[in-house]
Each structure stands twice: as structure tokens, then as C-alpha cells.
Amino acid sequence: MSPRSGEQTVMSQGVALVADDNGVVRYMVSQQVARLGLKVVTVNNGLEALARLSEQVFDVLLLDVMMPEMDGLGVLAEIRKHSEWREMPVIMISGVEEVKTAARCIEAGAEDYLTKPIDTILLEARLKASLERRRLREVERRYYRAMLESQQALRSEMEAAAGYVRSLLPAPIRSGPVEIDWRFIPSEQMGGDAFGYHQVTPDHLAVYLLDVCGHGFGATLLATSVINVLRSQTLVGADFTSPPTVLAALNDAFLMERQGGNYFTLWYGVYHLPTRTLHYASSA
């Protein structure tokens, strides 16, 4: 029986290893498997099976339960010790239809259990199911690896973003008439929270707190732009010692429709050192 065209894709280009000490059975099983579209390699016993597994990658192993030198259960035990072999489906074949033996094989890690003589239709169904499960596990592992790589890339980007934001923050002031200290704890999401302070004049210290709506790269970019404008004092028409004029100038410079719908709230204060008075304003 040859595989139907729509079903051959599951087993095409796969390689099966058949291990059985009986030459006649080994030949018959290998012919059945080959007719289903798989390439076949045969060995006489369990030790030879392990040796071939060390040399070549196989998609499925059909393993006789009773063999000299090392039986099928012994081979299963060795397979489960090697991480590179564990995901390979193993179908046990036996001349004895015994529930206890089948249960022991499944418990030891076998994917399925068939009795001799093997029915070709049943063999095809078991092979297809085993190989499909293997394929799905491989797809799952690829997705998992891709997810880990994506998470690592995101962590790297977040660390780089946190480093950039930290570079924008002013150094703590720990001596003089005004002392300011702060602690920066990066969040797991990019956002638009920021603050700053700088000497506007020898007598005036500006302090400002900023919160851009939402999260993400857009919020971070807007917060960075506003902080840079305040720090460099490049707002047209703004008196940086006068909080109301600063807010009015920011409102004109950062129109919401030009910022992708993003807006921000800002508290801006100016401390006058000689008189120790604070003038401030806040707005959104």
C-alpha cells in the first residue's frame, strides 16, 4: 500500500530506525515503513540502535521489545538519558500482546505499542500520529525560543532606554542652600514620566515634573523632547523664571494634534533662593 498524496507530507523526507533481532520481521517492517514514504535504516539489536542514534538523527524509532544484548526497555532507558533523543517518538513492537508489557513501555517513555504481525493501516496511523506530535512539539519549541529571544531583545532595549533616560536626569544636589535627591526605578514598560531641575539664574532654580499620557515609545519620545526643551531653555516666548509663561509656551509648542494625540501634564516651579519663595504652576 502506498501513501495517499495528501497524507505523504507528514512522513515525507523522514528517516526511521527499525531495531529487531529477527531478520524476517526486520525486513517486513522496514518494507512497510518504506512504502509509507519514510527512509529506513535497520539494526539487529539494542546496542546497534544506540550506536546509530549517536551517528544520525532519526525522526522515529520502531523498537522490538525482546532482543539479545540489550532489550527494548533498556534502549528506552538510555534514550531518555540523552536530551537530544528524548523528543524522538519510539514505537515498541512485540510478538506478545500483553497489557503489562505495553504499560511498562509507555511508562518508560514509548510513544506507542504495536504487536506482530503489524497491520499496515494501523502502522501508518501510528506513524503519522507520532510524527505529527513530534512536528507540533518542534513548532512549539521554535515558538518558545522565538519568544525568549524576543523577550531578551526587549529587555536589552528597555535597559538601553533606561540608560538614556538616566542620562537625561540631573545629578543630585547634596550641598548648598537647596538639596535634591532622587531614585530612578525603570518600569517594565516604556512610559512618559520624567522630571528635571536646573539653575535658570544664579538666584532661580527651576524644578519640573512631567507625565505623558499612555505608555510606549511615543510617550517616551514626547517626554524626552519636553525635558530637553526645558533643560536647554529653548522655548520661544518663555520666561523660565515665570511658570505661567513656560506652560503657555509649551502649550503652543506641543500641540496635541502634532503629537499623535498624546498630551502631558506638567508641574513647573521656580524657587527664588534669596527670598526662599516658590512660584509654581501646573497644567495639562
Contact 48, 20 (CB under 8 A): no
- pLDDT confidence of residue 64: 93
Helical segments of 36-98, H only? 46-55, 72-79
* Predicted TM-score (pTM) of this structure: 0.53
- pLDDT confidence of residue 5: 46
User: Would you state the cell numbers that stand for residue 211, as one nine-digit string?
Assistant: 507625565
User: Would you state the cell numbers that stand for residue 23, as one nine-digit string?
Assistant: 531478520
- pLDDT confidence of residue 13: 66
Q: Is 217 left (phi over 0), alpha (psi -120 to 50) or beta?
A: alpha
List, in sequence order, every residue forming a beta bridge with 211; answer none if it has no partner. Answer: 193, 265
Structural domains in the chain? 8-141 (3.40.50.2300), 191-283 (3.60.40.10)
- pLDDT confidence of residue 6: 44
CA distance 129 to 180: 67
H/E segment holding residue 213: strand 204-215
pLDDT in tens, the chain (284 residues): 445 544 455 566 689 999 999 999 999 999 999 998 899 999 999 999 999 999 999 999 999 999 988 999 999 999 989 988 988 999 999 887 778 888 989 898 898 999 888 888 998 898 998 888 888 888 888 888 888 888 888 778 777 777 877 787 889 999 989 999 998 887 777 677 889 999 999 999 999 999 888 777 778 788 888 888 899 898 888 999 999 999 999 988 888 777 777 888 999 999 999 999 999 999 87
Contact 98, 111 (CB under 8 A): no
Instruction: Give the Å distances, CA to CA, from 129 to 3, 7, 104, 120, 135.
Output: 14, 11, 20, 14, 10
Provide the pairing of β-strand 204-215 with 191-201.
antiparallel
